A = this chain, B = another copy of it.
Amino acid sequence: MEQVSANKAFGGVQGVYRHASSATGTEMTFSVYVPPHEQGAKLPVVWYLSGLTCTHANVTEKGEFRAACAELGLIFVAPDTSPRGEGVADDPDGAYDFGLGAGFYVDATQHPFAAHYRMWSYVTAELPALVAAHFPADMERQSIMGHSMGGHGALTIGLNHPDRFRAVSAFAPIVAPGRVPWGRKALGGYLGEDLAAWRRHDAVALIEDGAHVPALLVDQGMADNFLEQELRPELLKAACEAAGIDLTLNLREGYDHSYYFISTFMADHLRWHAARLVKE
């Protein structure tokens, strides 16, 4: 693992790192904020999964998470959203919603994407091992959040790992990719017509199929251009109600899909996570 940069911020260190990933067969870049802490301490880890077109850099620069992470003692990890580099297949038309910057946190089974698009394995297995080995991380205390496509990633990874993540939250998530254009294109392109596999990567379907977490927190801007066609929080609400999952769904008047929205509610989410990450 190579350190690309390290900047002191809010008493801790905002680092960017690069490594050769065995999951994706490419170099991968990610960022980690380590807050100020006592020598030898092990700190809880918050995973943040980013949305379409983003890299680790968007939330690292615009997410405004460091003040709260420093105050609450949280490590904040931000992976990239897809493999990148020579030989990595992209959307045939270069669209923003598939291929590069749009890995959708699945392990692709379809040619030519199966070769490198293995973001599920990367985010759930390879990168956690790297974080555990190189940072003062208490891997018994992890939580996960994300935005849009990354909200989809956070929800599906959280629902698939109820024993690993003590808190799961999202900003403007894609909650039912199997039923919306972004998701149908991505799941079809990466997973083909294996509809059982689709359901394992669809938060609403997972809940319908019995996956359970004690609580979810979702913030959704009501001026978000993608609200009605792609995000559809009402589907998550209905699924949680039917399953008895305690969903806090904050509908935020006037807010859009941008980091201006995310940064506004980031500290709220981190406090909600921190309350669930206290040592037992």
B-binding residues in A (CB < 8 A): 7-11, 14, 61-62, 64, 66-67, 221, 223, 254-256, 258-261, 263-264, 267
Contacts and interface: CB of A to CB of B under 8 A. Distances in A.
A67 B7 CA distance: 22
B256 A7 contact: yes
A65 to B, nearest CB: 10
A80 to B, nearest CB: 19
Contacts of A14: 260
A260 B64 contact: no
Given A8-B261, A256-B7, A61 B61 contact: yes
A9 B67 contact: no
A228 B242 CA distance: 64
Instruction: Decide if the interface of chain A is mainly helix, strand, loop or mixed.
Output: mixed
Contacts of A64: 64, 67, 263
Contacts of A9: 260-261, 263-264
Given A8-B264, A10-B263, A64-B263, 17 more contacts: A7-B256, A7-B258, A7-B260, A8-B254, A8-B255, A8-B256, A9-B263, A10-B264, A11-B264, A14-B260, A61-B62, A61-B259, A62-B62, A64-B64, A64-B67, A66-B263, A66-B264
Contacts of A255: 8
Nearest to A33: B260
Contacts of A260: 7-9, 14, 66
Contacts of A11: 264
A255 B13 CA distance: 10
A196 to B, nearest CB: 40
A231 B192 CA distance: 59
Nearest to A7: B260
A68 to B, nearest CB: 10
